[in-house]
Chains A and B, each alone.
Chain A
Amino acid sequence: MSFRVPRRTIAAFLGPAVAALAIVGIVPLLYAVWKSLHYFNLTKIAQQRFVGLDNYGAVLTDPVFWQAMGRTALLFAIAVPVQIALGLVIALVLHRPGLSFGKTLTRLSLVLPMATTYAVVGLLAQVMLNQKYGVINQMLGWVGIDAINFIGDPTNAFIAVVLWDIWQWTPFVALVLLAGLSTVPPEIEEAAKLETRSNWTVLRHVQLPFLIPSLVAVLILRTADTLKLFDMPFTMTRGGPGSATEFIAVLIERVGNRQFDIGMAAAQSIIMLAITIILARLYIRLFYREVR
């Protein structure tokens, strides 16, 4: 017996969600697109005017924008593979049978870094990495290592942000991959383990195919997160020293909220959005095919 749901019922169920999405997502996005076509500086409202694609031209030819984009890409290229590798190891360990109390504790503790507000993570880093009084340099001192100038040296500051990002987001990757491992049918996994004693073979041929959707989700979410990474470096280094940790979102905030050039910041954001969408489509096309 087929049952046809009336259109009105469908609209009633979907309507609120679509309206909410439109209000909080689509309308502001369209407004940002509109503003990106204007010279719109909050401190020079009288000079507001339509400038067409001028802001986009300025952004695309601005070396500062591309340097910030390069820095963000470098952060992503270093941090995400490490997060995936460490996350996979943690997920595989937690996936093994036994030690259920220990595993519960571990799972709980994994949530803590993610649950900590980004800005607080940055402030914690600023205090913990302080060259003179920070706990990390104190601990290094116990093993005879001289205090490291983490925040005041451009290279060290970048490395510190990478390490801090790895600390905060490896647990997230681990939990997502653990959820992915739980989708592997136990009978297939057991059969595979009877066939071979090599854990690598089981991982490569049995578990990994089931992990692909989780990995794609991790890649998409971590890409978006890295592109919009703002709070942590802002409170930790404020983009400095120099421009060493001025990632793309930090730059956009500076242009929009400190220079008040909303038109330019909107153009930068729209370009960043386009890059995010392209990367997400690429991930899905390249990796997702395997499990279709």
Chain B
Amino acid sequence: MKLKSHVSAIALTASAMAGLAGAAQAWTLEEAAKPYAGTELEVLFLDRPGYNAAIKMLPEFEAATGIKVNYTTVPYENALGEQVRDFVAGGDLDIALIDLVWMGNFAENGWIVPSETFINDPALADPELDMADFFPLVLDAFGSWNGVNYGLPFDNYSGLLFYNKCLLEEAGFDKPPATWQEVMDVYGPALTKDGKFAYALQSKRNETQSADSFARFLWPFGGSFLDAEFKSNLNSPESQAGLQFRQDLMKFMPEGIVAYDHAETVNAFAQGDVAMITEWSAFYSTVVSPETSKVADCVEIAPEPTGPAGRKPALGGFSLAVANQADDAEKAAAWLFIQWVTSKAKAGQYLEMGGVPARQSAYADPALAATYKYIPALVESWQEGVPEFRPRFAEWPAITEIVQEWGTKIMLGEVSIEEGSKMIGEKMEAVLAEAGYYDGKKPLAQ
């Protein structure tokens, strides 16, 4: 009898497991989406290659699920404001598009839903989701806040060194600079001549100044925005050394570099006027296309040069998360879309159409590196980046404005590096004090 009950228990467990396995095998997007057919999703997209790739993939998702994804394309500069106003007003957006520096803001305001809500729902979670397949740095920096994951990495960048092999070879170099010091001492003087410049650093007074220019020269030199107590670290010898280096490097950049945004910088490189730029991987297609680049055949890609503290390249990108204001059906449908568009299965297609997936498995094929020259450098960069390259807390929108103003003034020589850093530090600390970081009201998370 006892044996019989044991056997029955084992049989029951086995059949339950088989049932679960069967359910797992049986999970299909089509089945999971059936209850949500006809649901319409609203999301903001940017006019960038990753979004254009997703747009090309949309009909396939819509045909399989009956879920309609309505996207509105906005300029990057408007994307945060549009979403903040929509979420505050309880608007229409069902999916949040989150630049990594907006993550703390969105999470702390409760505008987005933690991923585990859906991952723990067998009806919605794709058994092939495989969160461990995302590059850990990217998943952490783009999609998570304070140990909780909210978004899946969607439009992913790393800063890379784009160099004009032909110009470098003419000057006697057979490889790109490995360190920033080499750029300053060797490549800079040799490549700055005849109206051409060795390097251009996009530094316009917007997020470009904070992310692409200011932060880029903090981290590789051992500096950072904040110390462990969340006080300004900008006047530390390391941060000062980095900012001084940026200032000194300006002699190898085109005049008026503080007015250069991405477009001007990429254009100067594509016209052959500048030998090297450090830009986001997303600009790859622009500089290698003969339609938009005079130097398409000369373009090579390397990881950003290292500083005394290592490589620590610029890190940027966006995740997609389910918006809390959506109703239950929209939330489920939104998760299905996010999970699908960032999935392992679609990563190859996304890459082919111009996107940059954050799936490690997508880059496993060595043949890909021949087609997409940026892949080895990108993969290497994602091993060596820092998630808090720019702090991701809710106060960043206020702090970036301070960095933009004073970072530009430093470059223009309107204030000294020390003075400007002190000013940013004081103003940054005032913002953080008001937010409650110094009286224990908020955890020191960035």
Binding site for B on A (CB under 8 A): 42-45, 130-133, 149, 151-154, 157, 237-243, 254, 257-261
Contact = CB atoms under 8 A, between A and B. Distances in A.
Contacts of A157: 259
A111 B72 CA distance: 34
A164 to B, nearest CB: 15
B273 A132 contact: yes
A243 B405 contact: yes
Contacts of B105: 43
A45 B88 CA distance: 8
B22 interface: no
Given A44-B394, A240-B205, A151 B81 contact: no
Interface stretch (B50-58, B301-309, B406-414): B406-414
A131 B405 contact: no
Contacts of B397: 43, 258-260
Given A42-B85, A154-B414, A258-B81, A241 B254 contact: no
Nearest to B407: A242
Contacts of B264: 130
Interface of B: 81, 84-85, 88, 105, 109, 204-206, 254-260, 264, 267-268, 271, 273, 394, 397-398, 401, 405, 408-409, 411-412, 414, 435
Contacts of B85: 42
Given A154-B414, A238-B206, A239-B205, 9 more contacts: A42-B85, A131-B256, A152-B255, A240-B258, A241-B408, A241-B411, A243-B409, A258-B81, A260-B81
Contacts of B256: 131, 149, 151-153
Q: Is the interface of B mostly helix, strand, loop or mixed?
A: helix
Contacts of B81: 257-258, 260
A151 B264 CA distance: 12
Contacts of A243: 405, 409
A238 B205 CA distance: 7
B88 A237 contact: no
A275 to B, nearest CB: 23
A260 B412 contact: no
Contacts of A130: 264
A254 B206 CA distance: 11
Given A45-B88, A131-B256, A154 B412 contact: yes
A242 B398 contact: no
28 contacts: A43-B84, A43-B394, A45-B109, A130-B264, A132-B254, A132-B271, A133-B267, A149-B256, A151-B256, A151-B259, A152-B255, A152-B257, A152-B259, A152-B260, A153-B256, A154-B412, A238-B205, A240-B204, A240-B258, A240-B408, A241-B259, A242-B258, A242-B405, A242-B412, A243-B409, A258-B401, A259-B401, A261-B398
B427 to A, nearest CB: 10
A42 B84 CA distance: 7
Nearest to B78: A257
Given A45-B109, A132-B268, A258-B397, A242 B414 contact: yes
Given A42-B85, A239-B205, A241-B205, A152 B258 contact: yes
Contacts of A261: 398
A240 B259 contact: yes
A254 B271 CA distance: 33
Contacts of A131: 254-256
A258 B404 CA distance: 12
A290 B324 CA distance: 63
A241 B258 CA distance: 6
Contacts of A240: 204-205, 258-259, 408
B88 A42 contact: yes
Contacts of B255: 131, 149, 152
Nearest to B411: A241
